């Protein structure tokens, strides 16, 4: 369900990328209650000299930054969950990256369930199908 794109300033570092993925995946599971088996995370590194805040490069500022963009199903989390996630991501990535500029972003994009999916099926279809299956199971259990 969640697709997470993480951009991090600095040179490509596979070890750091794995640490970041592990932490983001953990937070996504714990805070937003998303299933790890359908969570996708991509990591991109952008050189410090190509990342600008207020027209000044991070190379000049001598700091790091990140931009995390997560897509998930519309209305599947409360506002407080989303606020907690944004706060937790910033705290965790600040710890992993060390010197992080305050202008580092986490964006949560809520996708309509009928316009988003995997396995070639929309999230709405999966939800409805799961509800029908659960209802059918209840009826079968009552008959036995």
Q: What is the pLDDT of residue 137?
A: 82
pTM above 0.85, yes or no: yes
pLDDT tens digits for range 12-40: 999 999 999 999 999 999 999 999 999 99
Average pLDDT of the segment spanning 84-109: 97
- The answer on 80 and 13 residing in a single domain is yes
Same domain membership, residue 136 and residue 105: no
Q: Residue 64 has what DSSP assignment?
A: B
Domain range for 14 is: 3-111
Rounded Cα–Cα distance for residues 66 and 44 (Å): 10
Q: Domain check: are 104 and 130 in the same one?
A: no
φ, ψ of residue 91 in degrees (nearest 5): -65, -45
Query: Are 94 and 139 part of one and the same domain?
Result: no
pLDDT tens-place string over residues 57-69: 999 999 999 999 9
Q: How far apart are alpha carbons 104 and 93 in whole angstroms?
A: 10
Same-domain check for residues 37 and 67: yes
Domain containing 100 — which CATH number? 3.30.429.10
Domains of the chain: total: 2
Same domain, 60 and 123: no
Give dist(CA 140, CA 143) in Å, integer. 5
């Amino acid at each position: 369900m969640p697709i997470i794109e993480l951009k991090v300033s600095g040179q490509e570092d596979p070890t750091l990328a794995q640490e970041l993925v592990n932490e983001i995946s953990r937070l996504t599971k714990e805070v937003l209650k998303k299933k790890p088996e359908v969570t996708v995370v991509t990591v991109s590194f952008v050189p410090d000299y190509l990342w600008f805040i207020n027209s000044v490069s991070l190379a000049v500022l001598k700091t790091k930054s990140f931009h995390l963009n997560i897509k998930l199903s519309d209305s599947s989390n409360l506002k407080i969950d989303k606020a907690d996630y944004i706060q937790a991501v910033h705290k965790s990535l600040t710890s992993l990256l060390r010197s992080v500029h305050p202008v580092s972003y986490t964006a949560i994009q809520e996708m309509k369930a009928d316009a988003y999916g995997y396995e070639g099926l929309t999230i709405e279809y999966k939800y409805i199908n799961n509800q029908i299956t659960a209802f059918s199971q209840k009826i079968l259990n009552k008959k036995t």
